[in-house]
Chains A and B, each alone.
Chain A
Amino acid sequence: MSSENLSADVVIVGSGVAGSSIANELVRAGISVIVLEAGPRVDRQHFVENFRNLENKPSYQGPFPSVPWAPHPPDQQTPNEYLHTSGPDAEAYQQVYLRMIGGTTWHWAGCAWRYLPSDFELKSRYGQGRDWALKYDDLEPFYYQAEVMMGVCGPDPAVEDLGSPRRQPYPMDALPISYAAQQFRKLIDEKTPWRVVHEPQARNTRPYANRPTCEGHNNCMPICPIGAMYNGSYSVYDAEAAGATFIPNAVVYKIERDEANKLVTAVHYLDPDKGSHRVTGKYFVIAAHCIETAKLLLVSADDKSPTGVANSSDQVGRNMMDHTGVQVTFISGDKALWPGRGPLETNVIDNFRDGDWRNERGAYLVHMVDDNQVDLATQMAIAKGYVGRELEERIRYLAAHTVRLFSHNEALPDPNNRLTLNKTRKDALGIPHPDVYYKLPEYTVRSCEHTRKVFRELIGLMHGTDEQWTPGYFPQDHPSGSTIMGVDPKDSVVDGHCRTHNHENLFIASSSVFSTVGTGNITLTVAALALRVADTLKKELNHA
């Protein structure tokens, strides 16, 4: 046991978008903060070099090796070396994420959607899933705060209303979409009843927050080479500049409570040499990603909380959700598109995000991915048997005409979709790996069937050939629900302020609190919830 005295007003576990943005807000309000990060401190340029040296360029985890004391899934393969999935749709829940300073937004695409008001009221509006313990209007000011923090560009609602009412315009103008996306939008406008909208993105369309304008390197995932796209490391740097303490390689393994089991008194972490350290505080925030947050609460089980901390409801680890979707790649028979010029994801068909049919099937959104297809085209042309001049003309044609569509389809909270601790497999510190049982809800299956019909129609409109459907369902790495929010402590883990029902000074800032998962990428909502936690903590600590 170390003799050091580690203590702060607020102790945060996890340094991703949620943890670092809370730290930044609190420290700037004069509140002391310690952030414990399981993984190492890292830098962008090494990841850029790793990417360039990566044979399998589409592997988002590839440039980010994990460390033995804080492993993360190395890839989306099932069986997996770390995240062990099982059940009828095990492969559909093979999520990837990162454990390192800055968190998983090292490899996000910057898609910064607000949820729709209806996403928070699925039960009362459509009789499905649950309602959140807050409304859209409760979160709206924090959505805007998150957009300013990240630097989000998006369309003027008067021109293109994305369905989430705004009190303020986006901090930056919408990103001009690529020629390929322009052609796609024209086709959708002319030949379908649907529409293509600008995707709101945490990406600079002008110099913003000491970061440059996007140069269109087409590499938002796995790593933006110039930092034009926000990631959690920027909030880490901001918080550190203001005096917050970040401790890397600090793997929290125990949440200590008082005799009454009402207040958290400390968290304990292991360093890579298995030295144990105790960190005390007045408030504690677990902001360690959906999967690691639930894992930590379960690992912390003891005599006082035999099923895990904050788990009197037995809902910790349950209700695992994602935007499990559908993906197809095909060759357009129309004019050249040359996808891959500009950022990766810039445009969306948003007609299926909401409707009365949500009483039967899940909502979804459609991305026409603007991904550089030169490498894929080359692999396909070589596999077809082309060589020489014929190979070169085939590569050009395929690179200019390969189209990829994918969807985010809405899941529902099902307590049987559950994260538990693996009984035999442990990391280098002896902490169990996570297991997840997953069966895709019928609600989502019906949604995916609808998506496949729409995709087939789009392929037809583009005179597509050589379609290749990704087998089964496609994990979107948006895990959520493992510490679900609700008003009733009997069937939920946190309340509408992300405070655990069981421990009044323990908060959770993660997609793990989502009651339903909507369709938009989850990060902006995670950030907004986190900033709301920071607001609550500021009020309580400043009044103390």
Chain B
Amino acid sequence: MAENSSSLWMVSPNRMRLSRLLRMSRRDVLLGGMGTIAAGGLVSARASEPDAQAQAQAQLLSINDPLVKQFQDLSRRLTDRDTLNEWIGAALCTNIVQSGEKRKGQIQALHALLEGGQFASASDFARAAEKQDPAFKDLIHDIMAGWYRGVANGKVVVYRSALMFDITRDAVYPKTYAAGGPFYWTSKPPEVDPPKGRPALSSSKFVVEPT
């Protein structure tokens, strides 16, 4: 058989994504965050998974890497949280750095801003960052999407551990991980008061994607 039919359909989405990058999908255009896509990073979708995983592991920044330390400082400030998992942080930092050549320098520059000032909250810091350099907004978006969605560089870095599920776990389960027992869904979930907080950054275009 010309192709190994038992493995081709098993190619993972994170790997498929690399070939998808060439196509500039409607969603990518709508989200507007992709920018110019370089074909140079394309990896054959048929490369074997273990090789790809080993390669990704080898490229992962250490939790002791100074850049990861800076990334964690920024992340704690931008989430208003005192603790964040450092292994997830290292993986997110690695992927954000890989997503664009300016990201590493931006992380260092944003960290310098954090070190140089007193910021009472994530919002205070984010406002100051965008005021200093509008390009920081995209990096902050990346950091927020990384921790809350578990996604960086277009890849799922974590799923169940994404913070969006932590803050909603009294009401819903991550899809495929329900644990409420039969017909749990008939019970009354918690009420949620209208939020009073304001956005810290200027808004970005977002279009709800059809399924």
Interface string of A326-349 (1 = CB under 8 A from B): 010100000110101110000000
CB neighbours (8 Å) of B149 from chain A are 375, 378-379, 382
Q: How far apart are A165's CB and chain B's nearest CB, in angstroms?
A: 29
Question: In the bound complex, what is the Cα–Cα distance between A382 and B146 (angstroms)?
Answer: 11
Residue from B9, B175, B182, B205 within 8 A of A67 (CB atoms): B9
Q: Classify the interface of chain A: helix, strand, loop or mixed.
A: loop
Whether, in the assembled complex, A390 has its beta carbon less than 8 Å from a beta carbon of chain B, the answer is yes
Q: Classify the interface of chain B: helix, strand, loop or mixed.
A: loop
Contact, CB under 8 Å: A341 / B189: yes
Contact, CB under 8 Å: A63 / B13: yes
Q: In chain B, residues 175-211, which have Cβ atoms closer than 8 Å to a Cβ of chain A?
A: 175-178, 180-211
Question: In the bound complex, what is the Cα–Cα distance between A215 and B54 (angstroms)?
Answer: 35
Contact, CB under 8 Å: B203 / A383: yes
Whether, in the assembled complex, A57 has its beta carbon less than 8 Å from a beta carbon of chain B, the answer is yes
Whether, in the assembled complex, A66 has its beta carbon less than 8 Å from a beta carbon of chain B, the answer is yes
Whether, in the assembled complex, B87 has its beta carbon less than 8 Å from a beta carbon of chain A, the answer is no
Q: Using CB atoms, name the residue of chain B closest to A373.
A: B172
Contact, CB under 8 Å: A382 / B148: yes
Question: In the bound complex, what is the Cα–Cα distance between A65 and B17 (angstroms)?
Answer: 11
Question: In the bound complex, what is the Cα–Cα distance between A221 and B3 (angstroms)?
Answer: 29
Q: Using CB atoms, name the residue of chain A closest to B124.
A: A388
Contact, CB under 8 Å: B200 / A386: yes
Question: In the bound complex, what is the Cα–Cα distance between A470 and B171 (angstroms)?
Answer: 27
CB neighbours (8 Å) of B189 from chain A are 179, 336, 338, 341, 400
Whether, in the assembled complex, B83 has its beta carbon less than 8 Å from a beta carbon of chain A, the answer is no
CB neighbours (8 Å) of B14 from chain A are 53, 55
CB neighbours (8 Å) of A375 from chain B are 149, 164
Contact, CB under 8 Å: B9 / A378: no
- Contacts A51-B176, A384-B203, A401-B192 hold; do A395 and B167 have CB atoms under 8 A apart? yes
Whether, in the assembled complex, A312 has its beta carbon less than 8 Å from a beta carbon of chain B, the answer is no
Contact, CB under 8 Å: A66 / B185: no
Question: In the bound complex, what is the Cα–Cα distance between A215 and B176 (angstroms)?
Answer: 9
Question: In the bound complex, what is the Cα–Cα distance between A291 and B185 (angstroms)?
Answer: 37
Question: In the bound complex, what is the Cα–Cα distance between A273 and B183 (angstroms)?
Answer: 49
Q: How far apart are B46's CB and chain A's nearest CB, in angstroms?
A: 10
CB neighbours (8 Å) of A396 from chain B are 167-168, 192, 195
Interface string of A196-220 (1 = CB under 8 A from B): 0000000000000000011111110
Additional 6 contacts, C-beta under 8 A, given A53-B14, A76-B210, A386-B197: A39-B9, A60-B211, A179-B185, A223-B176, A386-B201, A393-B197
The 6 closest A-B pairs by CB, nearest first: A388-B122, A390-B197, A342-B185, A385-B199, A385-B201, A383-B206
Residues of chain A touching chain B, judged by Cβ–Cβ distance below 8 Å, are 39-42, 46, 48-60, 62-69, 75-78, 81, 100, 176-179, 182, 213-219, 221, 223, 225, 248-249, 271-274, 327, 329, 335-336, 338, 340-342, 370, 372, 374-380, 382-397, 399-401, 468, 470, 474
Q: List 8 A-B contacts (CB under 8 A).
A: A67-B5, A215-B180, A217-B178, A225-B176, A338-B190, A342-B186, A396-B168, A399-B164
